[in-house]
Every structure is written in C-alpha cells, then in structure tokens.
Structure 1
C-alpha cells in the first residue's frame, strides 16, 4: 500500500462517496471534487477542489497529479463526457461506477442503464487503464420509502415479490478503495451484489423490525406506481423502462456474487444490517442499550468483527487501551489489523453481554499463536462499552494475559 498515492474522488458527498473517503483514509491521500467546499462536511484530511463534472476545467484542476480517480457520473445525459475523459487523461487509473443492469442493454434497457453502457464503451476506447464496478440496486434506494413508512407505517409498491440482492453502499466503497489503491484490477468488470435476494415485502419487514414497529406492504397497480415515481421526481422518460426492468427482474432475478468478499476479505453486508443502520430515517427510535449489546455480540459471534465496528462505532468513537486513547473507526480498524498481522487466531470465545445502565461488558477469550515467536497463549479481554443514541461511543479494554504455554 502506497500512502503517498493521491486519489481523486467524484461524488464524495453522496452515499457511496462518503464511505469511500473513510475507506481511503490511511491508505492514500484523498482529493474531492465538490460543488460547495464550505458545506461538503468531509473529514479534515480530504483536500477539496471546487467544481463538478459539467465544468471540465475544474475536473482538470482536480486531476492534476492524481494517481487514480473514482468516477461517478450522476447526469442523465452523457453530454460533456468527452471533455471530462480528456481532463482525466493523465490520471493513470480510473475506476468507474457502472451498473450490473448493462447486461440487459440489448433488451432496450432504461436510459440510465444505456448511459452506463455508453460510458463504458467510451472509456474502453479512450483509456488504457480502467476498472468497471457494476453493482446491482443500492440498499439506499429503499430510502424512497422513508416518508410513507414514517407517516403511514407502510410501503406501497407494484411488485411485492420482486426479489433483489441489494448492495450496501459501504461495500461498493470498500471494493472501490481496493481497486483504486491496489494493482491487478485494470481491465476488470466486477459485478457487486448483496449476500441474498430479498423481496420488496421482505425488505419492508426488515425495515419494520429495525425501527421497532411493524411495516405493512400494500400492493398497488403499475399506474399508481408510475404516479408515485413522477411525484418523487423521476424523469418521465425513465419511468416506463424502469418498470419494465422490474418485470424482467421478477422473471429473471439478478445474480448473487461473492465478489465483495473475494476483493475485501469480508462478506457483503446484509439489507437487514442496512435497515438497522438507517432505522431513524424511517421514523424509528435509536436502539436501547440492550438491543445494541445483543446485536453487537451476535455480529461478533458470527465472526463479523469488522462489520460490528462499522455498524455501531461512530466516527468520534473513543477506544481506551493500554492507557492510550484511539479515536475513530479507521484507527480501531488499523489496531485490529495490526493485531491480526501479529498472531494467528485459533478461536474466540465470547461471553456476555452484561448490561447495566448505559453500559455493557463483553468477555473475549482468545487462543492465539505469535507469528514472530511461535508462542501460543490464551488471552482474556474484557471490553466495557458505553452506549449513546443507539451507538457505542466509548470502549475501555482490559487484558489478562497469562504467560505463554
């Protein structure tokens, strides 16, 4: 990993971009092209350049000296694409956020999908180094139901049985960070999905569970679905092709791939987890300490330690260990990665949670072997967590480490 590498991120203030900026911290220098630097609300380590993709001169300024660029094309039209690609010509590697749906482009795909296909073709013709990320539908698209859920406790959709392996935006960012900072990804087309198919009805149920109250599903007619999409601001030219795509996907579901795990080493995050993370967007209350404790421990028992950190630790989380304060998710992840590089972990026994007030404790018993010395030991780690507003704001770590066997 070359931490001197400079990565240019477009779309840095969006759902994927914010996760990507966090993923890149500590791996590379980050520069973001943003319309309004004053309101971007990005971390201090990110260099901000004012501009957007409709202004090729600003793209050229942002691209100067960059080693790689993450390109997200948010426009319905591909007008101006030539100038943007030319402005990025000197950037050695380009990772483009495309769509899995381009497999249907020969079947008269919707205008958005056709745009992705056109851009991929253009990049192949005009660049020697490119990587295409082709995700399925984003879990964050469910936020379009937020108002109905918050006000009516229901989801209204014309396709109750449409099952999709929706992908968590953080997983797209995790893959993007790898492809931007590692060798060996040029010329690849990666299809990215969540871990399983869930129908729209099952998604509504997951949202209800996450927010602490039932969410019903109301099946509506395609005409009413069309009116809802118009009211939500969908362009009229897009709606009918999208509804047709829903019908095709209901007959022939999208594939489920293991690409996220193959590239990042961690399984793709579930829609259930996404729903818990966004419960408040659907009118839910923050999880109480008992719910946080039980869910956190369940994720750890499942081996998803990294996911538990991402899910419950806010960016200002404080971990106190060996008399030192570690602040932020990136630092906690780095500490965990360092530990994993030093020892082979044979097993982890987890006891707890033990809950009291706004805190809970968990006892971890680790059987490890030092990679440097070959010494095997059992280590007991007691973690005391403080919960606030549904998140773990502080962790105090204590060890009992007997002599090696």
Structure 2
C-alpha cells in the first residue's frame, strides 16, 4: 500500500476496509465527550457489546436453576470448556483437543512448567529472552529454585547485540545450540511485550528440539495479534491470556496449548485437579487420577463461568472476522502508523521506533523510545484523548487493533503526537 499523510486518505482506507463494521460491535471509551483514540488493545481490549447479554444468560441460569445449571442451562457448565475447542484452536493453529480455556496465564504457565521442565543434573538450564515480562521471569526463577538450582546459573537470557534493540533469530539459534548439552527448556514470549518484536517461533522450536530441549511460549501478546500454527510448528506447549487483543475483560480467563504428542500421554508429570479427571467418572469421587484426553487433562477446578462467558462472546466476534483478514488489516494499519510517525521527521536521538520495521517481525504494536520528556509527552497525549500505555523507563506503546481501530484513528493520533511534541519540547 502507498500511504498518504492526509485525513482524506485515511477515510478512504476506512471506506474500503472489509472489517470496518466490527468497530460497531465494541464500546469506545469517551474522553472529553467524544470517542477516545484507543490504542491500548495490547494491554486491555475493548468491551464487546455482546458481553453483557452473555453474562446475563449465565446469571439467569444460576438464578433460575441453581446447581442444575451445570447440566440443564442454555450452555451447561459441566462441559462449558468444550464451547471453545474449535474456535480457540483456529485462533492459534491447533487441533481442538490441544487447547483448553482455564485459570489465568501465570497459573497455566506454572502448570506447564511442572510438566515440561523436568531438570536433571545434566540438563537443567532454561533459555529465555532478556527483559521478558515479569510474570515469566518470576515463574522461571521460582520453578528453578523449587528444583534446587540457582536462577543465575540455570537461566540463560538472550540479549540483542550491542547497539541493537531486537534479537536476531540466528543469534538465538546459536545460543540454543551452544548450550545443547545442558539445556532442558526454551521458554520465550511469542511477542516481546516491550519492543513488540515477533519471534520466529517455528525456527526457535526447531532449534530447541535439535538441542534436545522442550520448547514453550507465552503468547499473551501474540494470540489474536499474529497468525500462529502451534500444531504444525510442533511447539510443546503455550499459554496466553484473553484480555489483551482477545477483548475478554480485565483479568479474564487464560488458555493453554499442549501438543497432541504430549496431551494424550497420561504418564506425563502434572499437577492434577478433579476437573481434569475423566469426566465420565468424575462424580464417582474415587482415588486415582485419570486425566481427560488432550489439554483438558490439565484442568484443576470447575470452570469460572462468568469470565469464560465474556471470552466466549469476544471469541465469537474474533472467529467471525478471521485471523487472516485481521492480520492483513493489522499490517496495513501498523504500516500507516509507522509512515506517519516517520513523516514527522523527528531525529532518532529524540524519538526512536524500537519495534522491527519488517512487518513479519511485528504485530499491531509500535514501541516508541522517547529520549527526552517522555513522561510529559505521554501525559499530554492522554489529556488530548489518546489512550495508550507507558512502560518504564521511557517507552510509549502504540497498538492499533484491527477489530476496532481505524485508519482515521491512526491519522488523528499522529496529528496529536505532532502537536504534543511541539508543546513538551518547545
């Protein structure tokens, strides 16, 4: 696409956008009496208009049926997780039996580490990225300590080359190969939350397996953002949240993927709960855990129906739009955002885009490294009706989500950025 820096061009793009009507399915926050420019879907997605009715349906079944809602409600709670199998699988490129909606992201990560991080005196190291999201760092630190190892010794962090902001795939593969004799696990974010870099999951998985390690990913910033093929890439496991690009509400339910080569292995170590036990025998209340087939065998407790109802409403919209179409629009929107920011002609010593320029190596998000007056700039943007987020020490993350953001949103943001820059740097 050849971009133009004009409102006429932005509106023409919106008129030609086959996904433009999806915006009407979301509530847009109001600032100063008008729609905000909401560019924070990488942190919390907007509320779908269908969520209220979805929640009310479950509340009505609870009101009218009580415990019988488990079996006789409109969406019986006993098998509620099955409502997600097909659509969640399409979202991440999996088979239906390989995905499960449950718990939250970090709980699921710990459950996966119980199964897939089994260190030995010879193989105990974990490779992750430098500056991973804190939850991942804390989970790895505590899992390593639980097994009696020192995080400083057991955890290897992948760092960009000096003077660079992003990791090179070849460098990541080289570190994996160099530690093959002691490597137990590779665990990375699918998209780095700070820089917005999308990692080459297929290549990393191949390298990890060649080194004899298990490979997993935190897809919090990847699910609903980029096209994934978890099954075909033979990734061992993955976890994600649903409240960012998937628009399922603050603190919403999490999800997990376990490749079928592991998911159907009842002998794989795991922490068990009764909702993961064979549901045909669950209410016999007998000793002896017999896991359900597939990823469902990692469930612990009965489903958190209200948060799952919100996710179901959001996922239905996502599935209707389809990841290929969303990804196509995302590349155009983010490309337009980059074009407009660069058209401000600000020196990189003042404002630097640290997200890769290659569209295949990024999703919706551009991370702007602000070298002067960054916090003041962020606050000025916020006051002008732009909702985005600030990450210490000096990054503003801007994320136009294709389901509800428009080209006009992006154009107006760039105009406000120009004016705000002039105000805080005058």
- TM norm structure 2: 0.29
Higher-RCO chain (CA-CA 8 Å, sequence separation at least 6): 2
Output the TM-score relative to the length of structure 1: 0.30
Structure holding more strand per residue? 1
